Amino acid sequence: MKVKVSPSKVSGNVSIPSSKSMAHRAIICASLAKGKSKVSNITYSKDIEATISCMESLGAKIQKFDTYCIVEGTDLQVNNEVTCNCNESGSTLRFLIPVASLTNKKVTFLGQGRLLSRPMNVYQNLFDEQNIVFKQTSENIQIQGALKAKDYTIPGDISSQFITGLLFTLPLLKEDSNIIITEPFESKSYVDLTIQMLNKFGIEIKETSNHSYFIPGNQEYLAQDVIVEGDYSQMAFFGVLAALQENLTCSNMDPYSKQGDKAILEQLKNAGAQISIESDSIAVSHNQLQGQIIDLSNCPDLGPILCVLASFAKGTTHIINAGRLRIKESDRIEAMESELKKWGVDITSTEDSITIVGKESYKQDKTVALYGHNDHRIVMAMTVFGLCSQSECIIDDAQAITKSYPSFFEDIQSIGGKVEKL
């Protein structure tokens, strides 16, 4: 799918979709609980659909309605071999590999795009140490055999998704376990979100230091009704759009959220934008923007849209600890550098950093042809750039937004943005 984006001013109110991070966690917890749970305020993106499908393959019964689902949990005692199709969802795959091991059956994980080439060494090493089958190819990942209760040491600079996968699984084992995280412990906020959701479903995790956890064994998930909060990583696109233009109010947001991507509020303030918070809404207003130093170690998903913010900010913006952007749905550093240079943005990068010298406006003599790199966050970031530029652009591969935010273009149109599907 291609979309044409024309320069246009936006204003008004937009309701931010539910947090993909929290929806994954809520659906998995509900699927591991005895009895029925209701998970409300769900946005059915491709990633969330993947988690639902995989939990159904593992024995859960899930009824989907417009904005919520009813989940009847599984004891993971399946009778036959299992196939789980994770599509392109890294969260689904990494969260569920340890969980699926508890079936003691052969489980095959399928994936699309770059998913099966993303690093899995953490699990490969853990399974090898316990003599459990873990085979990764370009076509699938196959496991067979249950992880055991023990002390696990996990590198903190790879992905917090491995830690979350173990936190879902270890409470169900008979004995106690510990997880020790080697420093630097990046994306700790995502582990905090996991523990918050586990607590809602009756699972106890004890943080014994800022980089280790004690997990009592022999626990049970308790069925629970939960409401999924709004997504700060999606709110970020509208927050930057408002900071570059006029004023927008983003509703369906929890100002007390533990989401790491809530850092967007501080980054917008540091750039000079004005932020106003009232109950469940956040208003962002335009101001003269300045360059800054941005640390992505705890909020890597904000990388693409922060590149857009930096492009229009006066002076130099240094984005550091950005290396994990290279192992997402695309190499997001390479992708943003490639697309922004088409506009004439002064952007350079290293393996772990991005430097952008911003200016007030960008104009090209002809329509700018952009590519989405099969990456939802690249497509959304370039849409925001196009709205704030002085030239039309056409974004190819724009269907990538369905991975996390299927109604993104409609929401942009609702606030006055000129986006046309071609």
Q: Which helix (H) or strand (E) holds 303?
A: helix 303-312
Q: Are 107 and 142 in contact (CB under 8 A)?
A: yes
SS3 for the chain, per residue? CCEEEECCCCEEEEECCECHHHHHHHHHHHHCEECEEEEECCCCCHHHHHHHHHHHHCCCEEEECCCEEEEECCCCCCCCCEEEECCCCHHHHHHHHHHHHCCCCCEEEECCCCHHHCCCHHHHHHHHHCCCEEEECCCCEEEECCCCCCEEEEECCCCHHHHHHHHHHHHHCCCCEEEEEECCCCCHHHHHHHHHHHHHCCCCCEEEECCEEEECCCCCEECCCEECCECHHHHHHHHHHHHHCCEEEEECCCCCCCCHHHHHHHHHHHHCCEEEEECCEEEEECCCCECCEEECCCCHHHHHHHHHHHHHCEEEEEEECCHHHHHCCCCHHHHHHHHHHCCCCEEEECCCCEEEEECCCCCCCCCEEEECCCCHHHHHHHHHHHHHCCCCEEEECHHHHHHCCCCHHHHHHHCCCEEEEC
3-state SS of 358-419 is ECCCCCCCCCEEEECCCCHHHHHHHHHHHHHCCCCEEEECHHHHHHCCCCHHHHHHHCCCEE
**What are the DSSP E strand ranges found in 156-230?**
177-182, 206-209, 212-215, 221-222, 226-227
Q: What's the chain's length in residues?
A: 422
- Catalytic residue, candidates 231, 301, 375, 411: 301
What the block records as the tokens of 40 is 């409300």
Active site residue 301: yes
Active site residues: 301
